Amino acid sequence: MVSSTSADLGPRPRHRVAIVVLDGTLALDMAVAIQSFGQRPLGFRHIREEAQSPYEVVLCGRESSEQGTIGFSMRDLAPFSEIGRADTVLVPGLDDPVRPRDPDALAAIVDAADRGARIVSLCAGAFVLGHAGVLNGHRVTTHWALAEDFRRLFPHVELLDDELYVDDGQVLTSGGMLAAADLCLHILRQDCGQSYANDVSRLLVSPPHRAGGQTQYMKRPPRSTNGSLGPVMGWILEHLDEDLTLQAVAAQANLSTRTLSRRFEAETGRGVLEWIATRRIEHARALLEDTDMTVTDIAFATGYGSLETFRRQFARLSGTTPREYRRTFRVDQDDARRD
């Protein structure tokens, strides 16, 4: 647990957090980290008597770092060598995570990891840690939309793209931008206790812990039906409310079930029925967001013969229930107009 004072030993050095600022660092990720670990605003005194943060935060980078996505530069940053003095090294996300990064920053992160410092990434910051080579043997996460790029670049790292955050001992990583707050609050719980983390969550006006993962937020791009299976895929999408057995689809494609299955696996990376299930749940999610149809009506409109089967498949592919999904992604107009 982090502590700023000790009754027996007197003042102790505060836990030092080095935030790595690179060109293209995302402002929201950086702000969440600074708000979680940095100097407490005056309003925090109305929540907790401890006005001083138990952490010392230092922003490390080049003398000037361009933040193109938000239109300004950051200056007077501490040099990357300061990372070596940190107890925790935190890398926020970046707008172009695939691009290799400053070798001096990567070397400093490696040195900190070798020294035993806690290594943290927020959102796409996991790519920086991957380029530094400190993720091998660790379980990590990043933004779900970047999962394919991450696996391509770092095939030897175990990526859990459904998790809001992953604590794998020395290395801790978070998913998409607002999941950064989930991970920061988790670190505060570890260091300072549940009560302190709860009070910081009150400052952020954020739940101290969110259930579920990133699956419920995933939205896949429109599927191309231009390949050799395009015609039968298009037919499936127009008949999602029907009983689409493997035999029925094979007959429509004028193929044997074995040939159809082999070609589907080759073109989509999954079996026919799993592809159909994914399309059905995608359609169900759109109906939950955009219509007033009941969950039961949506179940039958997407080809499920029973409400229980629909709920089970929805939970498997979305990580939540249909009603919870609608509550999250659909705001009633009366609620939106409330003062």
Domain ranges, ordered by start, for the chain: 15-216, 230-333
Residue 82 in contact with residue 39, Cβ under 8 Å?
no
Give the Cα separation of 309 and 62 in Å (integer): 55
Q: Which of 48, 42, 53, 47 is nearest to 3 (CA)?
A: 53
Residue 157 burial class via C-beta count within 10 angstroms: exposed 0-12, middle 13-18, buried 19 and up:
buried
For the segment(s) 230-333, the CATH number from 3.40.50.720, 1.20.1250.20, 3.90.550.10, 1.10.10.60 is: 1.10.10.60
Which residue reads 């690179």 in tokens? 22
Q: Which of 132, 118, 62, 122 is nearest to 93 (CA)?
A: 122
Contacts of 269 (CB under 8 A, 6+ apart): none
Give the Cα separation of 30 and 184 in Å (integer): 11
* Token pair recorded at residue 117: 């410092």
Q: Which of 124, 185, 118 is nearest to 153 (CA)?
A: 124
For the segment(s) 15-216, the CATH number from 3.30.1600.10, 3.40.50.2020, 1.10.10.10, 3.40.50.880 is: 3.40.50.880
**How far are the Cα atoms of 14, 164, 278 from residue 9, in angstroms, in the given order?**
14, 38, 59
Map residue 36 onto helix, strand or coil: helix
Give the Cα separation of 52 and 50 in Å (integer): 6
User: What is the longest distance spanned by two Cα atoms in the chain?
Assistant: 82
H or E element: which one contains 323?
Answer: helix 322-329
Cross-strand bridge partners of residue 20: 60
* Token pair recorded at residue 43: 């309003």
Q: Which of 162, 156, 203 is nearest to 179 (CA)?
A: 162
The pTM of the whole model exceeds 0.75 = no
Local confidence pLDDT in tens for the 339 residues of the chain: 454 433 444 456 789 999 999 988 988 899 899 999 998 888 888 888 877 899 999 999 987 666 555 556 677 899 999 998 999 999 999 988 998 889 999 999 999 999 999 999 999 999 999 999 999 999 999 998 898 899 999 999 999 887 889 999 999 999 877 789 889 999 999 999 988 888 888 887 777 666 655 554 555 554 555 568 888 998 999 999 999 999 999 999 999 999 999 988 888 778 999 999 988 988 888 888 888 899 999 999 999 989 999 999 888 888 788 988 888 777 654 443 333
Cross-strand bridge partners of residue 120: 90, 172
pLDDT of residue 43: 81
* Token pair recorded at residue 130: 């991957």
Which residue reads 């259930």 in tokens? 211
